[in-house]
Amino acid sequence: MTVAAIHGRDIHVDVEGFLTDPMEWDESLAEALAANIGIDLTEGHWSAIRFARSDFAANGETPTLRRMATTGGVATKDMFALFPKKPAKKMAYVAGLPKPVGCV
């Protein structure tokens, strides 16, 4: 397990930079993680992040794009607008969750 200094704190991450302990996450860390990938968080981002974190807590895995659209109410095109190019992966990173299954 790797430790990275992010936003003045030591955070446990995997080799790709995803948090390995979602309990280390908080909203100020999310802001720092989003800034690392060039995203300024808006209420749309927070809505997706909050759904993803609550869904992860309930199901034990990061929601896929399909689940975000069908259960979370965030359309796939909106996810691409919020988190360009690799929306599920970027959303999981900012939300402090593991990379979604099937994400390359």
Q: Which residues are catalytic?
A: 103
3-class DSSP assignment, residue 79? helix
Among residues 36, 28, 11, the alpha carbon closest in space to that of 49 is found at 28
Q: What are phi and psi for residue 57, nearest 5 degrees? A: -60, -35
